[in-house]
Structures are given as structure tokens and as C-alpha cells.
A = this chain, B = another copy of it.
Amino acid sequence: MRRDELPTPALLLDLDAMECNIATLAAHARATGIGLRPHAKSHKCVEIARRLARAGALGPACATIAEAEAMAAGGIRGILVTSPMATADMLARVARLLGRGADLSLVVDHPDNVDTLAGLAAGHGVTLPVIVELDVGVGRTGCREVADAVALARRVAGHGALRFAGVQAYWGNLQQVMPLDERERRIAAQAERLRSLLSALRDVGLPAEIVTGGGTGTVFLDPATALFTELQPGSFLFLDSCYAAIPLKGNENPFLPSLFVAAGVVSANQPGRVIVNAGYKALATDSGRPTPARGAPSGSTYRFMGDEHGAIDLGDGPSPGLGAVIELLTPHCDPTVNLHARYQVARGMEVIDVWPIAARGY
């Protein structure tokens, strides 16, 4: 099948572009000597995790236990769950993964959770690697104070069934700060807090083996801190319409758009506009609009028109007919991927494969 014949709406992955992005990031990692733990919350797909492993990734970062389960079931090693696993259900599922021999590390930000994990690991006769998270400005998870993080690391180290493996520090709120030199300045400020934590950990005899964090928006800036052993970008695979609009180093953005929602024209009865079958349920709505790409005249724009529809305003361009396929560069890629059950994988104009989004949902 050709990509302009796809049943719509469909999530379309341009394999050439994604492979380029993986090669670009891998070259950056080699040049800077930093490891890669690409975030599976973006792709949620075993086939993509395998390609990343072949490109040298240490393993996937995962945001949910469902992602970790899907990766482990696919034989993927080096799984780091980057959010605290603190509910009874999460803990039971962690236990099941440990029982199956999954190669798993967890992140903590609370002493009670450390103690619970210690009991769980002991019960399975394993030593569980645990990473202490420092909140570096997001205000979400992570220890608020350096002293809290040191105390937590000591608590981890005090449990025989846990191994203190390092520190996570993720400045998610800085990923798309503009201009880029302001992004660099704010990274430098937060890096001071991370540096003081790493120093304090050395002082108590608990040097961090792993220092993990970062995302697509800072992946070319984080190495200058000389603090990280590995980085966790995810969106670099796809370059959504948010990331495509901003530079990532200097004035450049070296990644290519690879992820589209293929939408079909279902109504064409007004000059200058067609209606397509992709709305709130096919495209994330948290971060702006998709951008029409292939199939629509240059300069076309998209407007959300409810759950199932969008309007493509065509300007002076020719109108695609009923049933025509218009590819939309996705807005925020992670929640857009989560809306779909599979990738339609294209090489050029040919759809050559279908990859399940195995870790979709919960």
C-alpha cells in the first residue's frame, strides 16, 4: 500500500527520517561520551526499542509500569522506570517483573517507598538498583532539597536488597525555553544544584554511578554540564510540531519530522476549506496544532473541529478531493502516539510494515 492510500486516521511513521534521527543522536552520544536511555514514553513500541538498542542505547527509560512490562516482554534489557512506583498495583507489577528476571531499575523520592521496595526486593531474593530523584525545578516528583536526596540515598544504601545506583535530575520545564541561550542559562543554574548533590553523595561515600536526565530540547546542551552519564530524550525520534519549531543547538535542529497523522477528507463543500477525519481523538490537544504536510497545498493550516474532525484551510491552494489523504505533522508526539494502536511504517511512499504500540494506555 502507498501512504496516500492509508485507511484514515492512521499514525504514520517515516522510517528513513526516524533512522536519520537515531543515527544523529547516536553520533552525538559517541562524540560526547554520554550514554543514551531513550524514553519509551514517546514511542511505546518494542520494535523501536530494539532499533535503539542496536544503535547503542543502554536500554529504555519508562514512565509507566505498563511500558516496562511491554519492554520486558519484548526482551528489552536495561529498563529504567523514571517515575516513582508507589501504588499497590504498581508494586505488585514491579514484583511480577522481578520474579520474571526483568532487568529493571527504579526511581525513588520518598523514604516509605524505599522501605517498601526493599521488602519487595528481599522477598524476591534480588538486589534492586535504585536511583534517587532530585527535583530540579519541575515541581513534580523528586526530592525537593539536596539534603533530602542525600538522606534518601543513605536509606537506600542501608537496605541489603537495594543498591544505590545514582541520581535522576530532569529539567522537563526547560526543554522548550526560548531563546536557546536562556535555556542554557537556566540549565546551568539547575546544574549547580545537581553538582552539589553529587558532591555531597561523594562526601558520604555514596558516589553516583549513574546520573540520568535530560530530554530532546536539552540533549545538545546537557553535556556541557559535565554531570550526566546518560540522557533520556524521546521526542527526537519524531520531532513533533512543537520541537520542529525551535532550535536545539546554535540555530540548528538536526532532527527530521518522522511522525504524521494521516487524515482523510470527508467533506469538501466550501471554497478554500476541507474537513478531515482527525480531531481530539486522533491528535494530542495539549500543545498546539498539527501542521499540514504532504497532501495539502503549501501554507495550509489545521484547526480542531471537535472529537472527530479538523478543518484544513487551504488558502489559495487547490482543494484535495473527497477521500484524499492529508498528512499532519503531529503536535505533542507522546500523547498523540498514545491515541493510536499501531504505527503504519513507510519507506518513502510505500507502507512496508505495521508496528503495534504495545505499551499504549495502562
A residues with a Cβ closer than 8 A to B are: 5, 7-10, 41, 63-64, 83-90, 109-110, 112-113, 138-144, 148, 172, 264-270, 275, 277, 280-282, 284-286, 304-309, 311, 322-323, 332, 334-335, 338-341, 361-362
Contacts and interface: CB of A to CB of B under 8 A. Distances in A.
A144 B275 CA distance: 13
A131 to B, nearest CB: 15
A79 to B, nearest CB: 16
B8 A89 contact: yes
A339 B86 CA distance: 23
23 contacts: A7-B87, A7-B89, A9-B362, A41-B307, A63-B307, A83-B266, A83-B309, A84-B267, A85-B266, A86-B323, A87-B322, A90-B264, A109-B269, A139-B270, A139-B305, A140-B309, A141-B275, A143-B269, A285-B286, A307-B334, A339-B339, A340-B361, A341-B361
Most interface-central of A85, A304, A323, A334 (chain B CB within 10 A)? A323
A139 B272 CA distance: 12
Contacts of A284: 280, 285
A322 B266 contact: no
Interface of A is mostly: loop
A163 B148 CA distance: 72
Contacts of A277: 64, 83, 87
B88 A140 contact: no
Contacts of A139: 270, 305, 311
Nearest to A85: B266
Contact of A86 (B85, B266, B338): B266
Given A267-B109, A275-B141, A305-B140, A361 B334 contact: no
A55 B189 CA distance: 62
Going nearest first, the 6 A-B pairs with the smallest beta carbon separation are A7-B89, A87-B264, A285-B286, A280-B335, A141-B267, A87-B323
Contacts of A311: 139-140
A44 to B, nearest CB: 10
A86 B322 contact: yes
A232 to B, nearest CB: 13
Nearest to A234: B307
A285 to B, nearest CB: 4
Contacts of A281: 334-335, 338, 361
Nearest to A173: B306
